[in-house]
Amino acid sequence: MWENTFVFKHSSSFLVVFLVQVLVHGHGVLVNAQGSRASPWQTLSGDAPAVIARGGFSGLFPDSSSNAYSFAMMASSPDTILWCDVQLSKDGVGFCLPDLKLNNCTDIASIHPDEQKEYLVNGVSTRGWFPVDYNSTTLSRGISLTQGIYSRTDRFDSSTFPLAVEDVPKLFGPPSPALWLNIQHDIFYSHHNLSMRSYVLSISKRMIFNYLSSPEVGFLSGIAPRFQKTKIKLVFRFLEEDLIEPSTNQTYRSLLKNLTFIKTFASGILVPKHYIWPVTSDLYLQPHTSIVTDAHKEGLEIFAGDFANDADIAYNYSFSPVAEYLSFIDNGVFSVDGVVTDHPITPSEAVGCFSHINKSSADHGKPIIVSHYGASGDYPPCTDLAYQKAVDDGADIIDCPVQVTSDGVLVCMSSIDLMGDTTVTKSPFSSRASLIPDIQKAPGIYTFNLTWEEIQNKLKPLMTNPETKYRLQRNPRYTNAGSFMTLSDFLAFAKGKVLSGVLINIENADFMVEKLGFDVTNAVIAALNSSGYHNQTSLGVTILSSNSSVLVKFKQTNYSLMYMIDEYISDVASSSIADIKKFADSVAIDKESVYPSSHDFITKQTNIVSTLQKGGLSVYVYVLRNEFVSQAFDFFGDPIVEINSFVLGAGVDGVITDFPGTARAYKSNSCTRLGVDAPAYILPVQIGGLIQLIPTPDQPPALAPFPLLEPSDVVEPALPPASKPAVPAAPAGGSPPPPAPQPSSGPRCAAPAVLSAVSLLVAALLHLAS
Ligand SMILES: *[C@@H]1O[C@H](CO)[C@@H](O)[C@H](O)[C@H]1NC(C)=O
Ligand SMILES: *[C@@H]1O[C@H](CO)[C@@H](O)[C@H](O)[C@H]1NC(C)=O
Ligand SMILES: *[C@@H]1O[C@H](CO)[C@@H](O)[C@H](O)[C@H]1NC(C)=O
Ligand SMILES: *[C@@H]1O[C@H](CO)[C@@H](O)[C@H](O)[C@H]1NC(C)=O
Ligand SMILES: *[C@@H]1O[C@H](CO)[C@@H](O)[C@H](O)[C@H]1NC(C)=O
Ligand SMILES: *[C@@H]1O[C@H](CO)[C@@H](O)[C@H](O)[C@H]1NC(C)=O
Ligand SMILES: *[C@@H]1O[C@H](CO)[C@@H](O)[C@H](O)[C@H]1NC(C)=O
Ligand SMILES: *[C@@H]1O[C@H](CO)[C@@H](O)[C@H](O)[C@H]1NC(C)=O
Ligand SMILES: *[C@@H]1O[C@H](CO)[C@@H](O)[C@H](O)[C@H]1NC(C)=O
Ligand SMILES: *[C@@H]1O[C@H](CO)[C@@H](O)[C@H](O)[C@H]1NC(C)=O
Ligand SMILES: *[C@@H]1O[C@H](CO)[C@@H](O)[C@H](O)[C@H]1NC(C)=O
Ligand SMILES: *[C@@H]1O[C@H](CO)[C@@H](O)[C@H](O)[C@H]1NC(C)=O
């Protein structure tokens, strides 16, 4: 183990020094008792799969920029291989640039607006700005790299120049990282009288690189004899099946049938990941092909490309990129020899911390995994399927937000308003909308306006989609899947499961008492009693409410009491802690109260978690979701990084999540227990580190601090006793047609979210086992 200091310059005025403890890890080869080597990896060599960072950490920084390369080595496994797409300038100098069209990856179009050209590229007429028209001086100093993918942040764009290939190793002290050179276009350059072959042969004498790939048979087979006696590995890159390989005029599909031929000039192949695990156009994973074992039989290594944490992946993975990687490297049948990725931290974790582990759902230690409406990332919230999935995925505690029907039945529903999580607006009850400002500003169709029979039989559940503004939809096949449950159903279901307990969330108790004459707290206590929870089960019961007067009513029971702080806060007055301790053992706080962010960049870490814990309260954070758009950029679109930062960085006791499977995978990882010896990629992210890398003019605006939690926010008047009979009035029939309200989430709970990565793995393994 050694300490390595990475220094990189972002702009002349700005120097950032990161100290990162980089550990040298073995290659995952276990040594058994006899001292012989037994590899758990089903790669060709038996070594751990390689992580290849395409243009560095290009998921965050402009592809092939010095920041992208430096950050990749800082954040990922020390074995990470840096990928460079080689392009040639007019004077024959190689640059790392991801695209033949400079306008895709630099600001050239604004610097030289009148110099657009049109050339044939593999027979296709293509307009743009091309490297062959510019000399190396212009490329290295006259233009800046930009983020070519519009959905990614452009705040890191300014003043990073393209790097000459030979400058990449110079970003690092010895030992410099392994390099992978990709020659995407040899024929194009030769039409412009530039020889990739001469360039590659000449730099091979001046610098070390480890892999050379190309999608052109002619280039690779021509140069192969020159590298036969070297350690440089030649890799044939397959493009989409229907494309024509320009030097043989065959499709890549037909070349794939002739791996024996490929083996005559290459030691490996690189394929788009869907060659291995095909995905339907509506994003469902199909059975894997035999290409990995076919390649290995031929003696070819096989690398899978196109991985990114912010791209669409099959629903089977529940939005978890780690789960996707595991299906390629740890599925019990095969492992690819490497993955090419825009977010190298995630495969580093998958290889180093998440492969070949046993997931034990019986471990109910910290962090405690609390489901949010069941596994509501995978199934409609609070349905039998969502709860079953939460149990299968290893939640420690499953949750029921309790609501009451017009006939006094307690049900589990994510909201008191049925419009968000059921098909009520398309049902005969769409006329039962009313405006009740005590509950929410918009009109709603409330649980207490329908009978349980009506809800159960006439309505269908509806998937929640918290990220629709980004057009991200949860598994459409399960849009209306599952059945609703009463609280009694839920309590009966939970008994005997591998859980540590159940959580019951009670909101709007004051409204129910005052306007419906229904004492929900007593009804919940009675339901727990009659389900035998006071003496017949080892399951713990937690009552959650954002209104302290509800929790006060449960003081007489043995249940643990969790207070939900339903606003963003910056700190907690110590007198508030004393007040909370009078009625709660734990608190649930929003993610933003721990790591406030501006434009999705975290600005700092507050002390709230430790302050509350010092005051004797356990702290849970809500709501964690797998979808990358639900996370700050600081977490790299990787839900494992986010969980890790809350658990190790902030020290929370538990997480409330739409995707309990991902939290369970995190809990089972083989690295965090190593403590300070854990590899860099599983250390919590440096909070506020990313925002510092943004040049001043592009910095997101500073935030006004959130308020302090004061005792007046915490202490509430006592719940009055129920004045009316415990069953609310039946709904009035024949009310006038309702306005057409928009679904709105309840006032208290944030809309639910997410799925887990683990379900992918489980699904894949189940599939493979059958
Ligand atoms: C650059 O190329 C990528 C990948 O082909 C594409 O998604 C993106 O839209 C392009 N960007 C520009 C600015 O042309
Ligand atoms: C590179 O091109 C620029 C702009 O055309 C020109 O001014 C400069 O002299 C050239 N440099 C060399 C070394 O040819
Ligand atoms: C390449 O070189 C040949 C021979 O010198 C010349 O005729 C041709 O115009 C050149 N092509 C380009 C694109 O410069
Ligand atoms: C491929 O096809 C093109 C156009 O059809 C032709 O000019 C070229 O000679 C062919 N190359 C080979 C290797 O067959
Ligand atoms: C494989 O490719 C080589 C070279 O193009 C060719 O000679 C051979 O017939 C091909 N084999 C098959 C099975 O297509
Ligand atoms: C992916 O999910 C779909 C829908 O649930 C299922 O039909 C399919 O079998 C799954 N794919 C794999 C490889 O498990
Ligand atoms: C996982 O469990 C299996 C079977 O119980 C055991 O053989 C294996 O060693 C375990 N692996 C780890 C990493 O604990
Ligand atoms: C819903 O129930 C509330 C409380 O009982 C009542 O005031 C309201 O009129 C009902 N709305 C409809 C549309 O039945
Ligand atoms: C909490 O409950 C009390 C007692 O019913 C009520 O007076 C108060 O308005 C409630 N607080 C909030 C924020 O809803
Ligand atoms: C619940 O059961 C306990 C113990 O049997 C009893 O003391 C309590 O009164 C019961 N509460 C209700 C609301 O039934
Ligand atoms: C649980 O309590 C109920 C009454 O509250 C009692 O009838 C029953 O025997 C108790 N069961 C056990 C296992 O103690
Ligand atoms: C609470 O727990 C204690 C000890 O476990 C037990 O003696 C007591 O009867 C329980 N009280 C209730 C109301 O269940």
Any atom of ligand 11 within 6 Å of the Cβ of 538: no
- Tell whether 320 and 392 lie within a shared domain: no
Whether the bond into 594 is cis, omega within 30 of 0 = no
List, for residues 411-425, the tens digit of each pLDDT value.
999 999 999 999 999
**Residue 694 exposure: Cα atoms within 13 Å on the Cβ side:** 22
* pLDDT surpassing 80 at residue 575: yes
Query: For 169-180, what is the mean pLDDT?
Result: 94
pLDDT of 206: 94
CA proximity to 214, closest of 232, 191, 236? 236
pLDDT of 683: 87
Cα distances (Å, whole numbers) of residue 197 to 186, 191, 202, 220? 8, 13, 8, 9
Q: What is d(CA 710, CA 575) in angstroms, rounded to the nearest whole number?
A: 8
* pLDDT surpassing 60 at residue 559: yes
- Tell whether 81 and 187 lie within a shared domain: yes
How crowded is residue 316: how many other Cβ atoms within 10 Å of its Cβ?
Answer: 22
In a domain, 735, yes or no: no
How crowded is residue 414: how many other Cβ atoms within 10 Å of its Cβ?
Answer: 31
Cα distances (Å, whole numbers) of residue 548 to 287, 525, 540, 554, 561? 51, 17, 20, 10, 10
Whether the bond into 225 is cis, omega within 30 of 0 = no
For a pocket test of ligand 2, which of 90, 114, 135, 136 has the largest count of ligand atoms closer than 8 A to its C-beta? 135
CA proximity to 199, closest of 321, 51, 95? 95
End-to-end CA distance of the chain: 43
| Stronger pLDDT, 144 or 711, i.e. the higher one | 144
**Closest C-alpha to ligand 12, atom 6:** 558
For a pocket test of ligand 12, which of 529, 539, 558 has the largest count of ligand atoms closer than 8 A to its C-beta? 558
Residue 18 dihedral angles phi and psi, to the nearest 5°? -110, 130
Beta strands in 253-299 (DSSP E): 268-272
pLDDT band at 723 (very low <50, low <70, confident <90, very high): low
pLDDT of 403: 98
- Tell whether 183 and 90 lie within a shared domain: yes
- Tell whether 403 and 330 lie within a shared domain: no
Specify the number of domains making up the chain. 2
- The position carrying tokens 């005029």 is 249
How far apart are the CA of 475 and the centre of ligand 2, in A?
54
**Cα–Cα–Cα angle for 408, 413, 416, rounded to 5 degrees:** 70
Residue 489 dihedral angles phi and psi, to the nearest 5°? -55, -45
Q: What is d(CA 224, CA 208) in angstroms, rounded to the nearest whole number?
A: 17
Any atom of ligand 12 within 6 Å of the Cβ of 540: no
- Helix/strand/coil for 331: coil
Q: What is d(CA 292, CA 174) in angstroms, rounded to the nearest whole number?
A: 34
- Tell whether 164 and 55 lie within a shared domain: yes
Any atom of ligand 10 within 6 Å of the Cβ of 526: yes
- Tell whether 556 and 583 lie within a shared domain: yes
How far apart are the CA of 99 and the centre of ligand 1, in A?
9
Q: What is d(CA 636, CA 640) in angstroms, rounded to the nearest whole number?
A: 10
In a domain, 744, yes or no: no
Question: Which pairing describes strands 571-572 and 708-709: parallel, antiparallel, or unpaired?
Answer: parallel
Atom number in ligand 7 closest to CA 356: 13
Q: What is d(CA 184, CA 490) in angstroms, rounded to the nearest whole number?
A: 57
- Asked whether 388 and 381 are in contact (CB, 8 A), the reply is no
Any atom of ligand 12 within 6 Å of the Cβ of 558: yes
CA proximity to 441, closest of 686, 753, 742? 742
Query: For 542-569, what is the mean pLDDT?
Result: 95
pLDDT of 697: 84
Domain of 583: which CATH number? Answer: 3.20.20.190
**Closest C-alpha to ligand 11, atom 1:** 535
In a domain, 449, yes or no: no
List, for residues 735-767, the tens digit of each pLDDT value.
333 333 333 333 332 222 222 222 222 233 333
- The position carrying tokens 């492992």 is 335
Domain that holds residue 379: 368-417+466-667+706-714
* pLDDT surpassing 80 at residue 707: yes
Beta bridge partners of 120: 125
CA proximity to 475, closest of 638, 646, 627? 627
- Tell whether 328 and 475 lie within a shared domain: no
Where among 324, 353, 382 does a domain terminate?
353
Any atom of ligand 12 within 6 Å of the Cβ of 286: no
Residue 330 dihedral angles phi and psi, to the nearest 5°? -145, 65
- Asked whether 729 and 433 are in contact (CB, 8 A), the reply is no
**Closest C-alpha to ligand 5, atom 5:** 261
- The position carrying tokens 């399960």 is 478
pLDDT of 49: 98
- Tell whether 382 and 478 lie within a shared domain: yes
* pLDDT surpassing 70 at residue 2: no
For a pocket test of ligand 7, which of 330, 355, 357, 358 has the largest count of ligand atoms closer than 8 A to its C-beta? 358
Beta strands in 372-499 (DSSP E): 397-404, 410-412, 485-486
Got the DSSP string for 33-65? TTS-EE----SSSSSPPEEEEETTTTTTSPTT-
| Stronger pLDDT, 111 or 711, i.e. the higher one | 111
**Residue 260 exposure: Cα atoms within 13 Å on the Cβ side:** 0
- Asked whether 53 and 41 are in contact (CB, 8 A), the reply is no
How far apart are the CA of 369 and the centre of ligand 11, in A?
30
- Asked whether 181 and 209 are in contact (CB, 8 A), the reply is yes
* pLDDT surpassing 90 at residue 660: yes
CA proximity to 532, closest of 522, 543, 541? 541
Run of H or E including 613? helix 608-614
Beta bridge partners of 106: 145
**Residue 674 exposure: Cα atoms within 13 Å on the Cβ side:** 14
Beta bridge partners of 96: 86, 163
Residue type, 644: N
In a domain, 542, yes or no: yes
- Tell whether 158 and 54 lie within a shared domain: yes
Torsion 602-606-610-615 (CA) sign: negative
Using only the alpha carbons of the chain, give its radius of gyration. 29
Any atom of ligand 11 within 6 Å of the Cβ of 264: no
pLDDT band at 469 (very low <50, low <70, confident <90, very high): confident
**Residue 442 exposure: Cα atoms within 13 Å on the Cβ side:** 16
In a domain, 435, yes or no: no
How crowded is residue 26: how many other Cβ atoms within 10 Å of its Cβ?
Answer: 9
Burial label for 111, CB within 10 Å (0-12, 13-18, 19+), is middle
Contact residues for 290 (Cβ-Cβ < 8 A; gap 6+)? none
Query: For 721-744, what is the mean pLDDT?
Result: 44
**Cα–Cα–Cα angle for 747, 751, 755, rounded to 5 degrees:** 160
pLDDT of 294: 98
Average pLDDT of the residues of the chain = 88
Q: What is d(CA 435, CA 437) in angstroms, rounded to the nearest whole number?
A: 6
**Closest C-alpha to ligand 12, atom 8:** 558
Q: Model pTM?
A: 0.88
Ligand nearest to the CA of 115: 2
Run of H or E including 370? strand 368-371
| Stronger pLDDT, 232 or 173, i.e. the higher one | 232
How far apart are the CA of 358 and the centre of ligand 7, in A?
6
Q: What is d(CA 456, CA 444) in angstroms, rounded to the nearest whole number?
A: 18
Q: Work out the angle between the directed axes of helices 384-392 and 487-494 (0-180°, nearest 10).
A: 20
List, for residues 270-295, the tens digit of each pLDDT value.
999 999 999 999 999 999 999 999 99
- Tell whether 131 and 239 lie within a shared domain: yes
Run of H or E including 291? helix 291-297
Diameter of the chain by CA atoms? 92
| Stronger pLDDT, 590 or 360, i.e. the higher one | 590
Query: For 5-26, what is the mean pLDDT?
Result: 28
List, for residues 213-252, the tens digit of each pLDDT value.
999 999 999 999 999 999 999 999 999 999 999 999 999 9
Cα distances (Å, whole numbers) of residue 656 to 17, 286, 609, 706? 35, 31, 15, 22
pLDDT of 358: 85
- Tell whether 336 and 375 lie within a shared domain: no
Looking at the chain, the whole-number percentage of residues with pLDDT higher than 70 is 89
Q: Work out the angle between the directed axes of helices 520-530 and 487-494 (0-180°, nearest 10).
A: 40
In a domain, 612, yes or no: yes
How crowded is residue 35: how many other Cβ atoms within 10 Å of its Cβ?
Answer: 6
Q: Reduce the secondary structure of 497-530 to three states and give it as a string.
A: CCCCEEEEEECCHHHHHHHHCCCHHHHHHHHHHH
In a domain, 475, yes or no: yes
pLDDT of 732: 39
Query: For 197-220, what is the mean pLDDT?
Result: 97
CA proximity to 154, closest of 632, 630, 690, 698? 698
Query: For 499-520, what is the mean pLDDT?
Result: 96
Looking at the chain, the whole-number percentage of residues with pLDDT higher than 90 is 77
Ligand 4 proximal residues by C-beta, below 6 Å = 248-249
In a domain, 734, yes or no: no
Query: For 713-718, what is the mean pLDDT?
Result: 88
Query: For 351-355, what is the mean pLDDT?
Result: 97
pLDDT band at 684 (very low <50, low <70, confident <90, very high): confident
Q: What is d(CA 268, CA 296) in angstroms, rounded to the nearest whole number?
A: 9
pLDDT of 695: 84
CA proximity to 387, closest of 397, 374, 376? 374
Q: What is d(CA 486, CA 247) in angstroms, rounded to the nearest whole number?
A: 66
- Tell whether 309 and 378 lie within a shared domain: no
**Closest C-alpha to ligand 6, atom 7:** 284
Ligand 6 proximal residues by C-beta, below 6 Å = 284-285, 287, 316, 477, 763-764, 767
Any atom of ligand 2 within 6 Å of the Cβ of 137: yes
pLDDT band at 610 (very low <50, low <70, confident <90, very high): very high
